[in-house]
Amino acid sequence: MSEKQIQLEPVAVMRSPFDEKFGIPRQSGLSDHATGEVVFLPPYDDPAMLDQLDGFSHVWLTFRFNANVEAGWRPRVRPPRLGGNREVGVWASRSPFRPNALGLSVVRLCEVVTAPRPLLRVAGVDLLDGTPILDVKPYLPYSDAIPGAQAGYATDAPQPMLPVRFATQPAEWFTAHGDEKLRALVVDVLALDPRPAYRDAVEPERRYGMRLAGHEIRWRVDGDGVEVVSVCLATDAVEVNAKG
């Protein structure tokens, strides 16, 4: 090991509804229904370490883009913000494909739990389930909030939200299951249009699928927005696939 290498270890693990990369909002804070838990790992789980954190409304998470490390990095990336067809330098991006594969997200702190296991309930999450977290810091408005900051190619607000409607099966499914929390999350995630940024045109017949909070969600996009075409438990989906 080179002398200049630095060894770190996870202090916590993220529990989030994002079972796969596809569908994750492109920054933190975009969906307040994207809730999760920062579960501290021993020996970093002493409740004393959390004392007075509950006075803060937001926390920074420094994490490792674990699922992207193998892919490595290149000097230039194509940010979704630019339609996926223009390149910028990786230091001018928040791309996961970067040297050291470190991520940085600010999330809303909903609750500090100390027992039986120390964890933070947070909202506005954009981390894959199981992501190793290397640091947790309180958000300090007086140094961290710079409203007049200029953001070059990323100055404009994120893309407009698409309207989301439900076909008969998912509409009935959500009514039957009464899972308003998942329904709200599905609306948030699909309104942000998680399709790959680079595509030739709207393809109304193309179906997309993702696994979210243990469910298999399928949808399509047309000129009127997003239509959710099916929802089921991921275990059911596996059985259907196995049978089919």
Determine contact, residues 35/110, Cβ cutoff 8 Å.
yes
Phi, psi angles (nearest 5°) of residue 83: 80, 5
Binding its own copies (rule: CB under 8 A), the pick from 22, 32, 39, 53 is: 53
* Identified binder of its own copies from the candidate list 132, 179, 197, 232, rule CB under 8 A: 132
- Please report, as residue ranges, which positions from 15 to 44 form the binding site for its own copies (by CB under 8 A): 27-30, 44
In the window 86-115, what residues touch its own copies (CB under 8 A)?
A: 87-94, 98-100, 102, 104, 106
What is the chain's Cα-based Rg? 19
Coil, strand, or helix at residue 194?
coil
Nearer to its own copies, 104 or 240 (CB): 104
By CB under 8 A, is residue 58 in contact with its own copies?
A: yes
Selected range binding its own copies among 1-9, 165-173, 216-224, 229-237, rule: CB under 8 A? 1-9
Residue 71 as a binder of its own copies (CB under 8 A): the answer is no
CA distances (Å), 164 to each of 134, 180, 186, in order?
A: 36, 15, 9
- Cβ contacts of residue 89 below 8 Å, gap of 6+? 75, 76, 77
How big is the CA angle at 75 (ends 70 and 77), to the nearest 5 degrees? 80
Under the binding rule (CB under 8 A), the answer on residue 8 touching its own copies is: yes
The smaller minimum CB distance to its own copies, of residues 99 and 204, is found at 99
Which positions from 156 to 185 touch its own copies by CB under 8 A, shown as an x/- string? -xx---------------------------
Main-chain phi, psi angles of 140, to 5 degrees: -110, 105
Q: Which of 139, 159, 171, 232 binds its own copies (CB under 8 A)?
A: 139
